Amino acid sequence: GLVIDGRSLEHVLHDSLQNIFLELTEKCRAVVCCQATPLQKSVLVRLVRNKLKAMTLAVGDGANDVSMIQVADTGVGISGQEGMQAVMASDFAISQFRHLRKLLLVHGHWCYTRLTNMVLYFFYKNVAYVNLLFWYQFFCGFSGTSMTDYWILILFNLLFTSVPPIIYGVLDKDVSAEMLLQLPQLYMMSQ
């Protein structure tokens, strides 16, 4: 890990030292910046995101973290004594820092698996409907007549596009939360 303070960060963020600093951060599993200004935080996150093409996560608890949270790919706001500005600017909000582990490992894993299954589901639904239209064209002699009324098409898309994903999203949990917290490497497998 790398821990750097605001004064050191001020020198490192100059154009001549940025590449050396980025090489050092690539060798670290975690980089912690303490006593940094809001501008330094956002510049650092933008630098890592653009130069290293890495996915960034910013966690903040106050108004001074808003710019960093907005620049990051995923922003997490912690509601606390400093106000609700970070929570309002973030993608996810948690009440205490200790809930970050569950947010990432449990809900992140479930989100990955649900999204991949939903992509497959939508592909299957569209293939089934286009296949139906294709074979209907042989039946009607390629006249271009509509196979169904428009309200049936709307109902089809409404029922087969919204209801199954909602039910699946609420009920599906491939691995229990306790198991995901005990084995953090399962998060990488979901990706």
Residues 7-39 have pLDDT tens digits of 999 898 888 899 999 999 888 888 888 888 999
Give the model's pLDDT for residue 28: 86
Are the beta carbons of 93 and 87 closer than 8 angstroms?
yes
| Structure tokens that stand for 124 in this block | 């299957």
CATH number of 2-95: 3.40.50.1000
Mean pLDDT, the chain, integer: 86
With bands split at pLDDT 50, 70 and 90, how would you rate the model's confidence at 186?
confident
SS3 58: strand
What are the start and end residues of each CATH 3.40.50.1000 domain in the chain? 2-95
Q: What is the pTM of this model?
A: 0.72
With bands split at pLDDT 50, 70 and 90, how would you rate the model's confidence at 189?
confident
| Structure tokens that stand for 134 in this block | 């294709």
| Cα 14 to Cα 17: distance, rounded to the nearest angstrom | 6
| Structure tokens that stand for 175 in this block | 């691995």
| Among 108, 132, 134, CA closest to 189 | 108
pLDDT tens digits for range 81-96: 777 888 999 999 999 9
| Structure tokens that stand for 141 in this block | 């002699």
pLDDT tens digits for range 149-164: 888 878 877 887 778 7
**Residue 38 CB contacts under 8 Å (≥ 6 apart), including other chains:** 64, 65, 66, 67, 68
